Structure 1
Amino acid sequence: MNTTVNDLKIIEIPKIKDARGNLAVIEKDCIPFKIKRVYYLYDVPSDAFRGGHAHKTLYQFLIPLSGSFQVRVKDGTNEDLIMLNKPDIGLLIIPGIWREIENFSSGSVCLVLASEEFDEDDYIRDFETFTLFKGC
């Protein structure tokens, strides 16, 4: 699989500003897949991390609804650390990218929109297996 960390996208979510507050909207072509699963991470201790896996075919869009966290991404050769801390900015993670979510601030909430329903066979949970999958 030829995907790299350079293929990941930071996407600005369209928002409507108003004196009563902002409204962010995800519809139409905001993200490049139909949403089939939605879940969120919360009450994650600041010294814990989530993720620690890759997907073979699943796309995910991560949004920091509250607070902040960092997403460490790896493609088998390159690595990047991306800070997410604005609820109108999300990270599109494509198949074939290892991810670890870490450094959660107090009260942070990470919303995840996924292109498919849960399928354990789509997960790669061991980094060495991931590098073999990538052909590294």
Structure 2
Amino acid sequence: MKEAQIIELPKILDPRGNLSFFESNNQIPFEIKRTYWIYDVPGGEIRGGHAFKEQNEFIVVLSGSLDVAVFNGSEEKKYSLNRSYYGLYIPNGLWRRMENFATNTLALVVSSTSYDEKDYIRDKDEFIKLKSKENDSI
């Protein structure tokens, strides 16, 4: 089963300020097709709450912090993102929910596909049924 994982990014230390980076098919395991960022999230709000059939994502918090809850259909794991030199790789087929945004958090997300509404699974019950069918066929 594919799992989400924290990926530590290169960190170039410099007294003038540090630098980190990632590249397609190098630090992250896919070619980047889309980039977007999430910001100005009001206190208590949740982002995400869906899964993708095909799309893989990599989330880096450039400023602030947030938690990402990843659910594989049977168990949930939480990841806290609060450093700009590591991010969370989330392969397709996993439910994700971003929560506990600190004030002024800025999260950068890169995706393996262009936007396609048909790729989203937005109903959690439907997602659980799909995962149950996958597990039954193994």
TM-score category, normalised to shorter length: over 0.9
TM-score (norm 1): 0.93
Instruction: Encode CA deviations 1:45-66: one digit per residue, 9 max, x unaligned.
Output: 1200000000011100000000
Unmatched 5+ stretches in structure 1: none
Asked if 1:10 is matched to 2:2, the reply is: no
Which amino acid in 1 is paired with 2:108?
Answer: L
Match of 1:117 among 114, 121, 126: 114
Q: Distance in 2 between matches of 1:122 and 1:128?
A: 16
Cα root mean square deviation, aligned:
1.1
Structure 1 segments of 4 or more deviating over 4 A? none
Aligned residues with identical type, % of pairs:
46
Indicate conservation of the 8 Å contact 1:46/1:102, yes or no.
no
Count of paired positions: 132
Is residue 124 of structure 2 the alignment partner of residue 93 of structure 1? no
* Structure 2 partner of 1:21: 17
Q: Which segments of 5 or more consecutive residues in structure 2 lack a partner in the other structure?
A: 134-138
Cα deviation, residue 132, structure 1: 1.4
| Letter aligned with residue 39 of structure 1 | Y
2:49 is matched with 52
What TM-score, normalized by structure 2, do the two folds share? 0.92
Aligned-pair CA distance for 1:77: 0.3
